[in-house]
Amino acid sequence: MRVKYSKKTQPKEIFFDDQMNIIWGDGHHSKYNLYDLRCDCECASCVNEITGEKILDNATVNPNIQPTSSEYVGNYGLRIFWNDGHSVGIYKFATLRDQGSFEEGQVN
């Protein structure tokens, strides 16, 4: 089931520690494993644009991958600049919201 998106389900805050954290406008806190995020990149360098087949071999990604920075892409996504030099993937907020692990309760 997809979450119906509104301004309150847009990210309120995004920060990185040993994982990526998003506090959504409605107070939910989602956490994402950095290695999994990097391996799940859907850019044309990581996924074949025609077939949808994954090109990226997860074994080539450093298990200790770290972001060096990030930036919003419009109102719909986040670009993460990784310390392996990769930076072309856009992580859509709709997908992140659906896939994130939710902490119990709300964050104020």
In this predicted structure, what is the pLDDT of residue 2?
55
> What is the pLDDT of the chain when averaged over all its residues?
88
In this predicted structure, what is the pLDDT of residue 104?
43
Q: Which residues pair with 23 in a beta bridge?
A: 13, 29
What whole-number percentage of the chain has pLDDT above 70?
Answer: 84
Rounded Cα distance, 77 and 10, in Å: 10
36 — phi, psi (to 5°)? -65, -40
* pLDDT higher than 70, residue 92: yes
Helices (H), ranges, 56-104: 93-99
> What are the C-alpha distances in Å from 56 to residues 44, 73, 95, 106?
10, 23, 19, 36
Identify how many contiguous H helices and E strands the chain contains and give both numbers: 2, 7
In this predicted structure, what is the pLDDT of residue 45?
95
* pLDDT higher than 60, residue 3: no
pTM here is 0.84
Mean pLDDT is lowest, of 3-7, 17-21, 39-43, for 3-7
Q: What is the DSSP letter of 107?
A: -
